[in-house]
Amino acid sequence: MTTKSQKAQLFKHCIEAASAVHAECAEVLSTKDRHDQATITRASLAGCGPALVGLLSRQANIVQSIYQNNPRPISNAEIPSWQQKYDLALKRLEDIASIAYSKFYAYLFEDLPVCWRQLYTDARILKFCLVLLKSPYIAQHELDRGPSDDTPDCLDELVKTLDLTLILAGAAGEQRGRRWIDKALELLRIIWLADSKGQNVDGGSAADDDRPAKRAKFVGINSISNMHDVHTADATFSAEEPFTPPMIHPIRKSEALSIEEFQTYMDRPHDPHLGPEPLILHDALSEWPALSTHPWNQPSYLLSQTFGGRRLVPVEIGRSYVDEGWGQKLITFGEFLREYIDPTSLAGVESLTNPVRNSDGDKKGYENKPSLENSQDTPPPKPTAYLAQHQLFTQLPSLRNDILIPDYCYTSPPAHPTDACIDQPELDEPLLNAWFGPPGTISPLHNDPYHNILAQIVGRKYVRLYSPLETSQLAARGKENGVEMGNTSMLDIGVLEGWDEAPAPSRREDDDEEGGAEGREDNEEGSANATMSEEAIGAFKAVPFVDCILEPGDALYIPIGWWHYVRGLSVSFSVSFWWN
């Protein structure tokens, strides 16, 4: 299939989206019967109100008309009119998305009415269709494209628009939603890769153009998209381990078991009151492409699957989610690799992983950051960033194809050994989460309400586990700031073992020199509660545990309810599979 054919498919895909949004809005607006209206409200945009639905409908009609008229040449006299219509529609779609997103703060996400998620999704899809018209990735009107070096920024904007929809709104909508976005991104990726392998933005070969190549248009894309294919990018993530904890009570290790053998292992535990115990399954991932033909330990491959690092990912900033100052932000995958994971491994890759530029051409991320320009201050040490418990494979189906759900996840595991309230309704399919970070990333001591297969793909991880029978000695937290934290311990393993410095205690705003005595007393009490006496530390260290260091290709079975502390020793990429 030619690139021209895929550009035609993407063009048609956008027309269909605009037509479907307009038709659905028209149906909602024309429904007068209360019973029919109630039925539509539960499953569509109707809950957002006729004003917003009408506004979205008009923008969909504009997008549809621009696309439908695309084959007709536009005269110079018509261009200003088209440009004005284009700019106004783009602004209105941003307004709609902003209004929809403001509703996200009014509800817990699970309680958020679907209509607001769909409104956000449809507005972003229509914006994608408009931005695409000014890109080299489909045939388009001769609208003003701006400076000749805007192609990378245009691709940045296209990818960002749909990624925000996937991450923030879950790409809601039965008619479009995730299916439409996945197809659009896959078509765009194929076209981008083809262009980056020798075609210029007009679809011809660079060799056919007598002018010098426009360097800024595809700087670095060729090096990233082709490096893996021609095996010139063998650079792998650093295996350096700044610190390696000692293993004291090694977990039992076995060669990969058959599904029948694994079921027997769970059914016939050594201690019936405890149930099955943790087990390392060595060489259980040997058939995974992520460990062989599609190596996740090569940055060039991961970049080739993320539009040269343009895909957005949510990362946790800080040592641990229970520490003061911990937070989350969205950044590009390329920035994550370059700034937080392993900059040395990107030595052979061009600067495509730079942050996007704003409309003025200034580099920026997706979060405002204080400038250090013209400052005499030394920048503070960069905090740890962790792509943790993210459904990355729903967002990036191409990476999902590089891993296999272990057969063990289709067995029948036992219930929680001590607390039936923790058991969850049966899952239809295992829940997959990605865990990718630099050395020193930490998941504090906690337990999960599912059985877990933790598969190690890149680097090494230290894992320590305590049985559910020891729960009373592990200082479980309660509700904190309205969030139930009962599955997380107050015990900081790294600090108690002397591997980490104790994080600074939180500081109250009223704890200052001007009469903050009460605040200081509260703060000192909080600090005292956060510390442990030598007797208490001794008692904790007497609690039995097992531990291990996972190597690439290992899978660790963590039974339901087992408390576990996880520490990345080197650059590490793991996948967890929850099932019950």
Read out DSSP for 102-129?
HGGGGS-GGGS-HHHHHHHHHHHHHHHH
What is the per-residue pLDDT across 280-310, written as a single tens digit (0 to 9) for each?
999 999 999 999 999 999 999 999 999 999 9
pLDDT at 35: 47
Q: Measuring CA to CA, which residue among 108, 116, 164 is closest to residue 310?
A: 164
AA identity, residue 280: I
List the single range of 234-248, 355-369, 497-511 with lowest mean pLDDT: 355-369
What whole-number distance in Å separates Cα of residue 466 and Cα of residue 563?
5
pLDDT at 413: 96
Q: Is residue 313 scored above 90 in pLDDT? A: yes
Which is more confidently placed, 549 or 112?
549
Which is more confidently placed, 265 or 145?
265
pLDDT at 513: 43
Beta strand 563-568 with 451-458 is: unpaired
Residue 245 exposed, middle or buried by CB count within 10 Å (0-12, 13-18, 19+):
middle
How far CA 210 is from CA of 126, 136, 213, 427, 567, in Å, comes to 37, 19, 9, 60, 55
What is the per-residue pLDDT across 407-437, written as a single tens digit (0 to 9) for each?
999 999 999 999 999 999 999 999 999 999 9
Which helix or strand (DSSP H or E) is residue 81 part of? helix 79-102
Q: How high does pLDDT run on average in the chain?
A: 81
Mean pLDDT of 314-331: 84
Q: Is residue 504 scored above 50 in pLDDT? A: yes
CA 193 to chain CA mean position, Å: 22
How far CA 424 is from CA of 81, 446, 466, 580, in Å, comes to 58, 17, 21, 8
Query: What percent of the chain is modeled with pLDDT above 70?
Result: 76
pLDDT at 399: 95
Q: Is residue 227 scored above 70 in pLDDT? A: no
Q: Is residue 226 scored above 50 in pLDDT? A: no
- Which two tokens mark 533? 């006496």
- Which two tokens mark 409? 């996840």
pLDDT at 378: 59
Q: Residue 192's CB: how many other CB atoms inside 10 A? A: 24
Q: What are phi and psi of 456, to 5 degrees?
A: -100, 125
Reported as half-sphere exposure (CB side, CA atoms, 13 A), residue 129 has a value of 33
What whole-number distance in Å separates Cα of residue 96 and Cα of residue 580?
41
Which is more confidently placed, 220 or 477?
477
AA identity, residue 336: F
pLDDT at 515: 45
Mean pLDDT of 114-133: 95
Contact 142, 79 (CB under 8 A): yes
3-state secondary structure of 330: strand
DSSP of 41-53:
HHHSGGGG-HHHH
Residue 566 exposed, middle or buried by CB count within 10 Å (0-12, 13-18, 19+):
buried
What is the per-residue pLDDT across 351-375, written as a single tens digit (0 to 9) for each?
444 444 333 333 333 333 333 334 4
Which helix or strand (DSSP H or E) is residue 317 part of? strand 312-317
Helix axes 50-68, 3-30, angle to 10 degrees: 150
Mean pLDDT of 521-540: 58
What is the per-residue pLDDT across 15-41, written as a single tens digit (0 to 9) for each?
999 999 999 999 989 875 544 544 544
Tell the residue number behind the tokens 């009415």, with chain if given: 113
- Which two tokens mark 214? 């426009």
pLDDT bin (cut points 50, 70, 90) of residue 342 is confident
Mean pLDDT of 391-414: 95
Q: What is the largest CA-CA distance in the chain?
A: 85
Cα dihedral angle (91, 129, 180, 184), rounded to 10 degrees? -130
pLDDT at 525: 36
